[in-house]
Amino acid sequence: KAGVTQTPRYLIKTRGQQVTLSCSPISGHRSVSWYQQTPGQGLQFLFEYFSETQRNKGNFPGRFSGRQFSNSRSEMNVSTLELGDSALYLCASSLAELADYNEQFFGPGTRLTVL
């Protein structure tokens, strides 16, 4: 079974631009979560999508948004990029239902550098 895939793997943007990152979950997984990883803040939860609906959102500004498609693939968008948005963005999928205890499986991440 193929794992979680993320595209692109690396991205360089300049301040003020916007960026879209893509995630394809493991086949059959309906929940997709996004995390941001930085040396200073560590791993932080961005949001979770299930059945095309955002169920939960972390403490990030509105410049960070996402969506999920009917095939469970997900995209996240960051508008008006700031230098501090430079990070590894990780996508994770799981066989999520209510009160789910299944583990999340992570993709390799997209390394975003903002210049």
Partner 1 sequence: AQSVAQPEDQVNVAEGNPLTVKCTYSVSGNPYLFWYVQYPNRGLQFLLKYITGDNLVKGSYGFEAEFNKSQTSFHLKKPSALVSDSALYFCAVRTILTGGGNKLTFGTGTQLKVEL
Our finding on whether 87 is near partner 1 (CB under 8 A) is: no
CA distance 50 to 7: 20
> What Å distances lie between residue 93 and 29, 40, 44, 85, CA to CA?
6, 25, 16, 22
C-beta of 16 vs 52, nearer to partner 1: 52
Which amino acid is it at 62?
G
- Considering beta carbons, is residue 46 or 78 the nearer one to partner 1? 46
One-letter amino acid for residue 40 of the chain: G
2 binding partner 1? (CB under 8 A): no
Query: Judged by CB under 8 A, which of 90, 93, 112, 114 binds partner 1?
Result: 90
Shortest CA distance to 81 belongs to which of 112, 44, 48?
A: 112
Q: Quick one: which segment of 11-19, 37-45, 62-70, 71-79 binds partner 1 (CB under 8 A)?
A: 37-45
Q: Which of 85, 91, 102 is nearest to 12 (CA)?
A: 85
45 touches partner 1 (CB under 8 A): yes
Q: Are 18 and 78 in contact (CB under 8 A)?
A: yes
In the bound state with partner 1, the residue whose beta carbon lies nearer, of 96 and 112, is: 96
What is the amino acid identity at position 106? F
Check residue 55 for interaction with partner 1 (CB under 8 A): yes
Applying CB under 8 A, the residues found at the interface with partner 1 are 4, 6, 31, 33, 35, 42-43, 45, 48, 50, 55-56, 58, 90, 92, 96, 98-101, 103-109, 111
